[in-house]
Structure 1
Amino acid sequence: MVNEKNLFVAQVCHIQAAEPKGERFDPNQSDEQRRSYDNLILLCYPHHVETDDSKQYSTERLRLMKADHERVFGQKLFQIDERLLHKVSAEMERYWSHIDHLHREHHVVSELAIEIDVNATYLTLANQATALVTSMSEIQDYLIESERLKAEQEAATGTEPGPNDFEMLYLGLTNTITKLSVTLVQMEIRYLEEFIKLNPSDSAARQRLEERKSEFAQLATGAGYAD
C-alpha cells in the first residue's frame, strides 16, 4: 500500500466491474451499487492486476478477503502499554514535584525568579507563549514609535540624539524573551511526556525529553528577571 519512498500506491478497485466486459461485471447491479463501499476493495497495483483473473478471484473470494482483512485490521483498537504508561506517569509526577521544590526552595534569587507553574497544562503553556509573543511585538512597536518621536523632536530642536529607552529595551524585552524561553521548554516537556506514552519505542524522543528535563531543572533555579 505504501512504497519505500513512503508514497501511497494502493488503488481503489471494483469487486464487480463498473463497466460491461469488466471482471465480474453484474448487469443487475445499479450504478449506485457498483460505486458503493461494499463493492470496493483497496489493492496494491500488482494484486489489482492479479485479481483480473476472475476465475481464481471470484466475487465471493474477494468479498471474503476484504471481510477477513477488516476483521483483523479494520476494527483493531489502538492499544497502549499500560505498564509503560504508569511508569512514565509516575516518573513525570516525581520530576514535576522535584522541579517545584527546586524552584521554591533553591532559586538563586528567589525575589526575581521567573514564575513556573508545574501544574500548567500544554494548552495553558501554549496560550502563555502566544501572549508572550504578543508582548514582544508590543514592546517592539513601542520602541519603534519611541525612536521615531525622539528623532522628530531632535530634528525640530536641533539637539543631539538622546539615549535609547533603556528600561523597555534592556528590561522589558529581555524579561519577555526569558519568560518565553522558559515557557517553550516546559511546553516541549509536556508534549514529549505524552508523546512517549503513545510511542514508547521512539528513542530519539526519549533522549530529547531527558535533555529538556535537565535543562528545565537548571532554569527552575536560575532563570530570573533582569532588574
Structure 2
Amino acid sequence: MLLLCYEHHRVTDDVTKYPVERMQQIKRDHEAKFADAAGKIRSRIVDHTTLETVKEAANLEALWAEIGAPADDDHDPAESLAELGKVVRALKRLPIQTRQLFAIAVDRSKIDRPSGSRYVSVSLLKLVTELSMTALRNHIAILDEAKLVGEADPGEQFREQRILIQTSPESWDFWTKLKKFCKKRELPLKLFIEDLDFSSLAH
C-alpha cells in the first residue's frame, strides 16, 4: 500500500509512466529513507562542550602589567599559567548555561572582610537570573563538582545562603584579579568565562 497526496495521486494515475514496478521502487526508497530515523536522531546528540574553542593565554604579562604582579618572592609565572590552564579546562567542560551563571556569580560576588573569601548570595542569583531554585541548584551543583564554587557557611549574622567563589588557582585569587583587569580594560567577564577567550591576558 502506498499513500499519496491528491496531487501526486493524480500524477501517478498515468500507468505508462508509473507502472507497478516503479511505484514499488518509490515505496522502497521512501521507506529506506526513514528506516533508521531513531538512529539518525541519536547520532545527532553530541556533547557540545567538546565543540568549544578555547583561546588560552600564552603568558600573563598583560594581566600583571595592568594590575601588578604578585609581590610573593616565590611567585612562578609558569606555575600560575599552568594553574590557570586547569581553570580554563574546567570551564570548558561546563554547559554554556552554567558558564553564563558563573559569569554572573563572579561579577556579583563580594569579598567577605573577616575571612577574605569571595561569595555571592544565592537569593540574589535567583532574582537576577529569574531561574527556578531547582535550575539554580542544578547549575551550582555542576560548578561545585568542577571546584569553581563551594558552599559558604553563612554564620550566625547571616540569614541568606551564599556560595563561595573558589580561590582558584589556589596560590592567587584569580577571580579578583580578573575582575580588576576587566574593569581597567573595560572588558566583559563573559569574554573569559562564557567565550573562553583568555588571550587578552597575554602580551
Q: Would you call these one fold, judging by a TM-score over 0.5?
A: no
Q: Which has the higher contact order (CA 8 A, sep 6+)?
A: 2
Relative to its length, the structure with more helix (as a share) is: 1
Structure showing greater radius of gyration is 1
- State the TM-score, normalized to the length of structure 2: 0.30
